[in-house]
Amino acid sequence: MTRADEDPYDHERGTDRPVRPAGPRPAPGAGIEPTVPRAPHRPPAPPAGSGALPAITGTAGTEAAPDRRAVRSAHPGSPAPLTAHRDRPAPPAGLDRPSAAHAPAGGTAHAGNTTHAAHPAHAGHPAHAGPAAFGPAGSVAVREEGLPDWLEPVARMARQVRPEQLSRFLPPASGGRQSAVLILFGEGPRGPELLLMERAGSLRSHAGQPSFPGGALDPEDGDPEADGLVRAALREAEEETGLDPAGVQVFGVLPRLYIPVSGFVVAPVLAWWRSPSPFHAVDPAETARVFTVPVADLTDPANRATTVHPSGHRGPAFLVESALVWGFTAGVIDRIIHFAGWERPWDRGKQVPLDWRS
């Protein structure tokens, strides 16, 4: 298995890694970053007691973003930066203080590297019976029906966002290693949450760095232009975390992004953990732990920072669950939070230095 979001110069697991090119080494984590610096803003808070999430809107003066299906082709070069969106309201109260409708009864806290019990199904949405992630003839169904209300802005984002709004690093016209990561949202004791995993501390590259489950496309996953990338994301998540993909509902795929230092073309696959299952670090030699992070913690300004690499590269970061989330993973989370309308003003001057080993 080759991870889609890791340093390509880590050769400890064989010869399936790209060979380091000649010349200066690119900055790690440079696979995704905001297209333009976004100045802090203080949008009005939603009305008290409002349970509605803000709708995603286009930049003033431009046409609406095209449907996701219209932008699946490769995009050579780097487009001109876009105007930053500054009209994102504060997140709804339901993300900071989960309402009774969103907070499931019971469930277990996520601590350490134990196998975790599944949370109850979201109220009003019973658990799946059988492999609901797969449609007729074994195809993977991508559908939005039955999502909880708080996930609708993320589904809308998947339909509307353009590749250049996520990153200035876009796939080349040809080439690149196709891969996918699973961005799995669920509900825990503290409300909406996101599944992450942490690399083992003994690894030479990015030891202890959190990431999404995922990896490179295998031949058995099928055509990347069909449902191969979705299959790869589900397969890798099962192999790495032990979760049951039958309880996972894929509701969207973001535009593919490019990681220049490794040549990976990564499809971020969005999913709802409709029927949660136990999870754990399947291979401790590669994964230290698998854990969930409340979305409220990711949107909390106190947990946000900017990482600074010795090369000069800067990127968003999150200090959550005793971990520093940075690089490609943090960049994707940052964009989701922004375009879903959940972003709150945070101090971009709060810096976390990295070293050359990062």
Q: Distance between the two ends of the chain, CA-based, in angstroms?
A: 21
Would you state the pLDDT for residue 299?
98
Q: What is d(CA 175, CA 188) in angstroms, rounded to the nearest whole number?
A: 40
For the chain, the domains span 133-293+325-341
Q: How is 131-149 classified by DSSP, letter by letter? A: -TTB-GGGPBPB--TT--G
Largest Cα–Cα distance of the chain, in whole Å?
58
How many residues belong to the chain? 358
- So what's the pLDDT on residue 179? 97
* Predicted local confidence at residue 189, as pLDDT: 95
Predicted local confidence at residue 109, as pLDDT: 36
pLDDT at 355: 86
The closest of 92, 89, 82, 95 to 38, measured between CA atoms, is 82
Structure tokens at 197: 């995993």
**Residue ranges in the chain whose pLDDT is less than 70:** 1-138
Q: What is the pLDDT of residue 114?
A: 41
Give me the sign of the Cα torsion angle 46, 49, 50, 53: positive
Distance CA 318, CA 303 (A): 6
pLDDT at 203: 83
Give pLDDT, residue 95: 54
Please give the CATH number for the structural domain made up of 133-293+325-341: 3.90.79.10
pTM recorded for the entire structure: 0.69
Helix H segments across 131-207? 152-160, 163-166
- The pLDDT assigned to 356 comes to 79
CA distances from 114 to 161, 260, 281, 284 (A): 37, 35, 8, 12
Q: What's the angle, vertex CA 331, arms to CA 325 and CA 333, rounded to 5? A: 75
The pLDDT score that the predictor gives to residue 309 is: 93
Give the H or E element holding residue 108.
none
